[in-house]
Amino acid sequence: MISNPRPESAKKAAVSPAPGRRKFLNGIAAAAGTGCLLNLAALMLARPAAANPPQALRPPGALDEPGFLAACLRCGLCVRGCPYNTLKLAPFGGAAVAGTPVFTARDVPCEMCEDIPCVKACPSGALKHELKDIGEARMGLAVLSDHETCLNFLGLRCDVCYRVCPVIDKAMTLESMHNPRSDRHAMLLPTVHSAYCTGCGKCEKSCVLPVAAIKVMPIKLVQGQLPAHYRKGWEEKEKHGSSLIGDQVQMPVRGMEDKAFGDSRLNDTGKVGSAPGGLNSGWKP
C-alpha cells in the first residue's frame, strides 16, 4: 500500500545533514571516488604491463626488476649518457614499461664502456652506482637458443658470436665435440658461461643468421637453478682430495662380462676396446 510519503521524507531530512553539509560530503565522496577510480585504473594497467618482453634488456647495473620499477624516474639521463645510442626509453603503449630504459640486443647491443657513463648519469640509483667494473654487469644472459640453425652446431666454423664476445674465452667458449654426422670432424659449440656473461648482446647482434640462433634475455627468464642441497660429486671430490665415500666396488655388468665398464654402446664387432669414440672410458660411479 502506498502511504503518504511526506512523513517519511520529513524524518529523513531530520537525520540527514543540512543541505550545505550534504553537498560538501557528496563533494568529498565524489572526489574520493574519482581518486580511487583513476588509481585503480592505473593499477590495472600497470599490473599486466609490469612484465617486460623477453627481448627488452635493462642497462648495466639495473636493480632487479621490482626494485627498478620503484626507483627509475623515467628521466632518460642514462639514454642521453650512452654514446652508442644503445638505450631507449620505452614508448607509451609499447610492450615494455613506458618511460623506462631498455635496449634490444639485436638492434644496438651494449658496448660495455669501461667508464659506464649510463650508470654515472643515473640520478636515482636505479642503475647501481656501485657498479664500477662493466665486466660485473648482468644485463641478461646469452642462450644459444637454436641448436638446429646455429652454424657451428651444423658442423661449420662460423664462430662469429664467440669472436665478438667482449669477454671471449670466459663468457663464451667453443667446446669441441665429436661430429656424429660426418664421424670424422669436430663440432665447436659456442657455450655461454653465466659466471662471466654480462648480457651485452654483442653475440646476438652479430649472429650471421637472418634470425639469431643465440639470444640474450633477462637472467630470470633463462637461467635454471639447482636445488640448494645439490652437491656435485666431482667438485666435492676435488675439494676433499679424494672420494668422500671411499673407493667404489667394481660391479660386473651382467651379460656384458669382458666388455666395457658401464658402457653398453658397442661397435659392430662386439669386441672390447675396438669401438671408436672412447669406449671403455673407465667411467665408474
Partner 1 sequence: MKLAQEAIDKKGWLGAHRWLILRRISQLTVLVLFLSGPWFGLWLAKGNLASSVFLDVLPLTDPYVFLQTLAAGFLPASSALIGAGMVVAFYFLIGGRVYCAWVCPVNVITDLAAWARRRLGIKGGRVPDAHSRYWILGGSLLVAAWSGSLVWEWVNPVTIIQRSLIFGLGGSLTVVLAIFAYDFLVASRGWCGHLCPQGALYGLLGDVALWRVSAARRAQCNDCMDCFTVCPEPQVIRPALKKAGQESPLILDRNCTACGRCIDVCGKQVFTFTHRFDQRSDS
CA 108 to chain centre: 18
Report 143-162 residues binding ligand SF4 (CB under 6 A): none
b/e 199-237 (16+ beta carbons within 10 angstroms → b):
bbbbbbbbbeeeebbbbbbbbeebeeeeeeeeeeeeeee
Q: Between 78 and 260, whose beta carbon lies closer to ligand SF4?
A: 78
To ligand SF4, the closest distance from the beta carbon of 55 in angstroms equals 13
Taking the alpha carbons at both ends of the chain, their separation in whole angstroms is 92
- The 122-161 contact track toward partner 1, x by CB under 8 A, reads xxxx---x--------------------------------
Report 6-45 residues binding ligand SF4 (CB under 6 A): none
Query: Measuring CA to CA, how many Å separate 164 from each of 12, 57, 169, 206?
Result: 81, 19, 11, 7
Q: Are strands 186-192 and 172-178 parallel, antiparallel or unpaired?
A: antiparallel
Which residue is listed with cell 588509481? 39
- Please identify which residue in 197, 207, 213, 260 interacts with ligand SF4, judged by CB under 6 A: 197
Query: Measuring CA to CA, how many Å separate 59 from each of 52, 81, 107?
Result: 13, 11, 14
Q: Which does 56 bind (CB under 5 to 8 A by kind): ligand SF4, partner 1, none?
A: none
CA 212 to chain centre: 17
- Please identify which residue in 56, 60, 88, 153 interacts with ligand SF4, judged by CB under 6 A: 60
The CA distance from 218 to 199, in Å, is 8
Q: How many CB atoms lie within 10 A of CB 112?
A: 19
To ligand SF4, the closest distance from the beta carbon of 148 in angstroms equals 20
User: Amino acid identity, residue 136?
Assistant: E
Establish if 88 lies at the interface with ligand SF4 (CB under 6 A).
Answer: no
Establish if 222 lies at the interface with ligand SF4 (CB under 6 A).
Answer: no
Q: Which does 70 bind (CB under 5 to 8 A by kind): ligand SF4, partner 1, none?
A: partner 1
Report 5-44 residues binding partner 1 (CB under 8 A): 27-28, 30-32, 34-36, 38-39, 41-43
Establish if 74 lies at the interface with ligand SF4 (CB under 6 A).
Answer: yes
- The 88-117 contact track toward partner 1, x by CB under 8 A, reads -x-xxxx--xxx------------------
The CA distance from 12 to 7, in Å, is 9
Chain contacts with partner 1 (rule: CB under 8 A): 27-28, 30-32, 34-36, 38-39, 41-43, 45-46, 49-50, 66-67, 69-77, 79-81, 89, 91-94, 97-99, 121-125, 129
